[in-house]
């Protein structure tokens, strides 16, 4: 199997997986602590209450640990073992903010955590072995991929590109033509959401920076999104680049 499209970029998914393991052990620890704190008070109300709350909290802690083990196995083996789609939702909606917070506490940069999150998300999406027809896949690009000085504005219709080759829009247009895939260029998160609502794809291959990809993956869930980070040789939001073969690799993995 080919590498995940977001995996080549350091730091890879391992960092996020490790942080996730630590976070889930901490959650289980907090649950145990809660049980210990309330144990004395509950016994005074009814002698059965500590047992009932102990079983409830024990089941909760077991679910957290089991979920973590499943996610770790899914990521390591690249196979959909059990509930991968549901677990991806738990990571995206609940665990990610906590993991980001813990990562920052121990001095890991936010963008590094986000890069690793994107790699982890790609790994989970690919583990589901989703195969989609070309007409149900959408390539979503940020407008900063287009050369700033280009007189043709491709937002809304990438087919207008004259393919002069001064920016990566040319290569991506050719890729879209090769696979007969829809490509949209969005000027921001609001337009990206509108495009997705209108086009109703079954899978999105999105190119963007760490922040936009992270929020896009969260907003789109449960729609599967494969994230590919752009390069910013001139700083953010200006003449950004993307390695077109990474988009090609992602498409080959999901096109049925």
- In angstroms, give the least distance from the CB of 209 to ligand SF4: 19
Report, in Å, the least distance between residue 191 CB and ligand SF4. Answer: 18
Closer to ligand SF4 by Cβ: residue 69 or 162: 162
- Candidates 201, 191, 146; CA nearest to 169 is 146
By the 10 Å C-beta count (0-12 exposed, 13-18 middle, 19+ buried), 10 is classed as exposed
Q: By CB under 6 A, is residue 143 in contact with ligand SF4?
A: no
Task: In angstroms, give the least distance from the CB of 244 to ligand SF4.
Answer: 12
CA gap 253, 256 in Å, rounded:
9
Question: Total residues contacting ligand SF4 (rule CB under 6 A)?
Answer: 14
**191 binds ligand SF4 per the rule CB under 6 A:** no
150 part of the interface to ligand SF4, by CB under 6 A: yes
Cβ count near 250 (within 10 Å) = 26
In angstroms, what is the minimal distance from the CB of 109 to ligand SF4? 31
| Residue nearer to ligand SF4 on the CB measure, 166 or 178 | 166
Between residue 160 and residue 179, which ones bind ligand SF4 under the rule CB under 6 A? 161-167, 169-170
The only residue of 7, 75, 121, 146 in contact with ligand SF4, by rule CB under 6 A: 146
Task: Output 12 or 176, the one with its CB closest to ligand SF4.
Answer: 176
Among 71, 154, 186, 247, binds ligand SF4 (CB under 6 A): 154
157 is a contact residue toward ligand SF4 (CB under 6 A):
no
Residue closer to ligand SF4 (CB basis): 129 or 153: 153
Site membership for ligand SF4, residue 55 (CB under 6 A): no
Q: How far is the CB of 196 from ligand SF4 (least distance, A)?
A: 22
Closest distance to ligand SF4 from the beta carbon of 247 (Å)? 15
| Distance (Å, whole) CA 55 – CA 124 | 31
Interacting residue ranges for ligand SF4, rule: CB under 6 A: 146-147, 150, 152, 154, 161-167, 169-170
């Amino acid at each position: 199997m080919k590498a995940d499209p977001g995996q080549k970029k350091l730091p890879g998914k391992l960092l996020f997986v490790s942080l996730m393991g630590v976070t889930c052990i901490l959650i289980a620890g907090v649950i145990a602590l809660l049980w210990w704190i309330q144990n004395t008070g509950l016994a005074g109300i009814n002698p059965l209450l500590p047992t009932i709350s102990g079983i409830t909290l024990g089941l909760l802690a077991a679910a957290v640990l089991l979920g973590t083990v499943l996610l770790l196995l899914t990521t390591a083996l690249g196979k959909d073992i059990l509930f991968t789609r549901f677990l991806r939702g738990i990571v995206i909606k609940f665990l990610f903010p906590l993991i980001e917070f813990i990562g920052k506490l121990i001095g890991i940069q936010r963008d590094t955590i986000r890069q690793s999150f994107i790699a982890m998300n790609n790994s989970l999406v690919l583990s589901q072995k989703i195969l989609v027809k070309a007409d149900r896949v959408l390539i979503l690009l940020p407008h900063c991929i287009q050369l700033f000085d280009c007189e043709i504005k491709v937002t809304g219709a990438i087919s207008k590109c004259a393919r002069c080759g001064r920016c990566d829009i040319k290569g991506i247009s050719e890729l879209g033509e090769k696979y007969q895939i829809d490509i949209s260029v969005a000027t921001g998160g609001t337009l990206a959401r509108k495009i997705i609502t209108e086009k109703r794809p079954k899978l999105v291959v999105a190119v963007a920076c760490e922040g936009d990809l992270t929020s896009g993956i969260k907003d789109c869930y449960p729609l599967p999104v494969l994230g590919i980070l752009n390069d910013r040789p001139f700083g953010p939001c200006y003449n950004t680049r993307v390695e077109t073969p990474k988009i090609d690799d992602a498409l080959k993995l999901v096109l049925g």
